[in-house]
């Protein structure tokens, strides 16, 4: 699916500019309830434009687990290789190397050995939060695996293919619901194309200068808090 980033940037910055104008609006001929009703109508129109431009939701994110499962020793030869690598890893750690350093240069067989023993490693067993440390180790192992394993590289390529759509969906939904560009969307867009994120930031800074965004968020929150028939 082709995404027109330039068009979406224009749409989002225009929406933010319009939301700011709506938040600043006053009318001496309207009661507070009347003004709020007008603001609500304008916000709903802006929301509709944003949501209509939402890219199609990508297929489910590719599953890394089968690739990690494939590292598990399945034959007697596999077990022997893993045990051999585990002995080498133990020797490196005893000599003062840190586990992240070992992972950073590990071969596929060595990663299999580290993954196999990660749950019972001192780093995990001695941690205050073993689950968190184990998760971090798995991420480090995966980060190295994508450099040495074709199947892991294919998963990453499939993940990256969905990143632009996920980024714009997050950003459009964030502006439509809360009036602001969400952090998650910014992170995803930066991963997809940092230059496009820079263009979005430049356009948004011009549309909503300085702390003006607080007015938008305050208005959106206030409208959501007050029932439609209030």
Note the pLDDT tens digit of each residue in 157-198. 888 889 999 999 999 999 999 999 999 999 999 999 999 999
230 pLDDT above the threshold of 50: no
Distances (CA, A) of 128 to 14, 16, 20, 25, 219: 48, 44, 46, 53, 43
Q: Above 90 in pLDDT, residue 62?
A: no
Whether the per-residue pLDDT at 27 is higher than 50: the answer is yes
What confidence score (pLDDT) does residue 229 get? 57
**Cβ atoms of residues 182 and 188 within 8 Å:** no
pLDDT beyond 50 at 89:
yes
- Please count the other Cβ atoms lying within 10 Å of the Cβ belonging to residue 13: 22
- Please give the span between the terminal C-alpha atoms of the chain, in angstroms, as a whole number: 43
On whether the pTM is more than 0.85, the answer is no
Q: Name the pLDDT band for 227 (thresholds 50, 70, 90).
A: low
- How far lies 169's CA from each of 49, 59, 165, 180, in Å? 13, 13, 6, 13
């Amino acid at each position: 699916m082709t995404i027109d980033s330039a068009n979406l940037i224009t749409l989002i910055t225009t929406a933010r500019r319009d939301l700011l104008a709506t938040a600043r609006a006053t009318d001496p001929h309207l009661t507070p309830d009347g003004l709020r009703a007008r603001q609500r109508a304008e916000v709903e129109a802006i929301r509709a434009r944003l949501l209509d431009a939402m890219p199609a939701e990508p297929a489910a994110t590719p599953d890394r687990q089968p690739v990690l499962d494939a590292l598990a020793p399945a034959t007697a030869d596999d077990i022997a290789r893993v045990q051999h690598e585990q002995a080498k890893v133990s020797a490196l750690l005893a000599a003062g190397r840190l586990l992240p350093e070992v992972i950073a240069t590990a071969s596929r067989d060595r990663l299999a050995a580290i993954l196999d023993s990660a749950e019972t490693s001192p780093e995990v067993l001695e941690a205050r939060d073993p689950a968190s440390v184990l998760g971090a180790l798995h991420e480090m192992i995966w980060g190295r695996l994508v450099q040495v394993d074709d199947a892991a590289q294919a998963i990453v390529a499939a993940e990256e293919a969905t990143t632009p759509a996920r980024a714009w969906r997050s950003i459009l939904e964030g502006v439509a619901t809360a009036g602001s560009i969400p952090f998650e969307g910014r992170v995803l867009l930066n991963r997809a194309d940092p230059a496009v994120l820079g263009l979005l930031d430049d356009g948004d800074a011009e549309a909503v200068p300085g702390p003006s965004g607080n007015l938008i968020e305050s208005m959106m929150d206030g409208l959501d808090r007050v029932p439609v028939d209030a």
